[in-house]
């Protein structure tokens, strides 16, 4: 309820419209102080974009030459590793070479796959479901569902 008398004008009705300012007022020396900061920020953004692009290109594809594979072992948490036969190695390498990158991810691995090459190099993969990753957190998705479970159950450990 309005408590003003009818002869008192409403201050909002008679006030002049306020002008909005779109840009900060010009101050001498403003550009000289802020241009180095703007250049630094732009160069930081360009550097970050270049690094992310380089990392994405690096994790684009996995390729293992099947002729260079000496042996493959698969291990499950709390169990002894099992060695894959030639058919299992071919299936694993074919699935790994056909895997597509899904980016960075974190998960608890269910299987560990140890790949030994003919030149003595050993690569450790961590797998969970359809996702597999090597020594970093770039994940790849294999095309076959439960590939690692199939490899594990097909290659029973020999006593």
Q: pLDDT value at position 61?
A: 76
Quick: pLDDT tens for 82-114: 999 999 999 999 999 999 988 888 889 999 999
What is the spatial order of strands in the sheet that 131-133 belongs to? 82-83, 69-76, 111-117, 122-128, 131-133, 138-141, 100-104
Q: Please, what is the end-to-end C-alpha distance for the chain in angstroms?
A: 93
State the residue for tokens 């419209």. Answer: 17
Assign domain 66-154 to its CATH superfamily.
Uncharacterised protein PF16224, DUF4883 (3.30.1490.410)
The H or E element containing residue 73 is: strand 69-76
Q: pLDDT value at position 32?
A: 58
Quick: pLDDT tens for 44-67: 666 655 555 555 545 577 888 889
pLDDT exceeds 90 at position 28:
no
CB 137 within 8 A of CB 125: no
115 three-state secondary structure = strand
Q: pLDDT value at position 87?
A: 92
Between 126 and 157, name the one with better pLDDT: 126
- Compute the average pLDDT of residues 3-29: 59
Nearest to 66 by CA among 45, 96, 43: 96
Tell me the residue length of the chain.
159
- Compute the average pLDDT of residues 132-148: 88
Q: pLDDT value at position 126?
A: 93
| Helices 86-97 & 147-154 angle (0-180, nearest 10) | 170
pLDDT classification of 38: cutoffs 50, 70, 90? low
């Amino acid at each position: 309820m309005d408590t003003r008398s009818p002869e008192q004008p409403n201050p909002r009705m008679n006030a002049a419209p306020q002008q909005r300012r779109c840009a900060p007022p010009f101050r001498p020396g403003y550009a000289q102080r802020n241009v180095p900061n703007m250049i630094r920020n732009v160069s930081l953004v360009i550097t970050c974009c270049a690094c992310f692009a380089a990392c994405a290109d690096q994790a684009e594809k996995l390729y293992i030459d099947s002729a260079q594979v000496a042996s493959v072992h698969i291990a499950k948490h709390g169990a002894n590793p099992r060695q894959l036969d030639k058919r299992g190695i071919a299936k694993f390498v074919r699935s790994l070479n056909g895997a597509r990158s899904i980016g960075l991810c974190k998960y608890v691995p269910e299987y560990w796959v140890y790949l030994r090459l003919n030149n003595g190099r050993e690569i450790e993969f961590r797998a969970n479901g359809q996702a597999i990753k090597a020594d970093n957190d770039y994940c790849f998705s294999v095309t076959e569902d439960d590939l690692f479970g199939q490899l594990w159950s097909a290659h029973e450990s020999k006593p």
